[in-house]
């Protein structure tokens, strides 16, 4: 699976290994093999999503919803993915990397690397 979307400022790349948000000065990578994000499963994680002070992280369903079908007849996708969609808002605070229980996030911001302890 490969999917990307591009604006003038940010490129968001998703594949089976990782989701990445890339802007001019910042690259944020979420290792999807390590991350146990879940939108609905209470045992899943949303720590980075909740802790980031500038809302870098966003979620979306893995399949596009068909809004032409009336809501009562539509079966919405249940699998959602986590993306560092707004990478260029990152201030390098490191809170997401420190709070991630799976060591799934790495950040390059300018010349500074923020990585989980090895
Ligand atoms: S380093 Fe701080 S600002 Fe950047 S994505 Fe993580 S929590 Fe958000
Ligand atoms: S904190 Fe880590 S494990 Fe939790 S949702 Fe974010 S990247 Fe995934």
Q: Which carries the bigger pLDDT value, residue 96 or residue 10? A: 96
Q: Which ligand is nearest to the CA of 56?
A: 1
The structural architecture, per CATH, of the domain 2-66+74-114 is 2-Layer Sandwich (3.30)
What value does the mean pLDDT take over residues 84-111? 96
Q: Which one has a higher pLDDT value, 45 or 80?
A: 45
Indicate the top mutation candidate among 54, 113, 116 to test ligand 1's pocket, ranked by most ligand atoms within 8 A of CB. Answer: 54
Give 67 Cα–ligand 1 centroid separation in angstroms.
32
For residues 85 and 56, the answer to whether their CB atoms sit within 8 Å is: yes
User: What percent of the chain stands above pLDDT 70?
Assistant: 91
Model pLDDT for residues 25-73, shown as the tens digit of each residue: 999 999 999 999 998 888 899 999 999 999 999 998 887 777 788 878 7
Domain range list for the chain: 2-66+74-114
At residue 77 the predicted structure's pLDDT band, cuts being 50, 70 and 90, is low
Identify the CA nearest to 3 among candidates 118, 83, 58, 100. Answer: 83
How many Å lie between the centroid of ligand 1 and the Cα of residue 50? 11
Classify each residue of 93-113 as buried b or exposed e, where b means 16 or more C-beta atoms within 10 Å of its C-beta.
eeebbeebeeebbbbbbeeee
Indicate whether residue 47 lines ligand 2 (CB < 6 A): yes
* Ligand 2 pocket mutation, candidates 37, 52, 58, 101, criterion most atoms within 8 A of CB: 37
Using 50, 70 and 90 to split pLDDT, how confident is the model at 6?
A: low
**Is pLDDT at 110 greater than 70 in this prediction?**
yes
- pLDDT-derived band at 4, boundaries 50, 70, 90: low
Nearest CA to ligand 1 atom 6: 96
């Amino acid at each position: 699976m490969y999917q990307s979307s591009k604006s003038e400022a940010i490129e968001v790349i998703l594949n089976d290994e990782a989701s990445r948000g890339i802007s001019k000065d910042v690259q944020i990578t979420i290792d999807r093999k390590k991350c146990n994000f879940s939108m609905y499963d209470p045992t899943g994680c949303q720590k980075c999503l909740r802790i980031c002070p500038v809302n870098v992280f966003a979620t979306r369903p893995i399949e596009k919803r068909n809004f032409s079908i009336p809501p009562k007849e539509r079966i919405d996708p249940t699998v959602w993915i986590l993306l560092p969609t707004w990478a260029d808002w990152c201030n390098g605070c490191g809170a997401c990397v420190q709070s991630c229980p799976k060591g799934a996030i790495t950040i390059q911001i300018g010349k500074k690397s923020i990585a989980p302890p090895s």
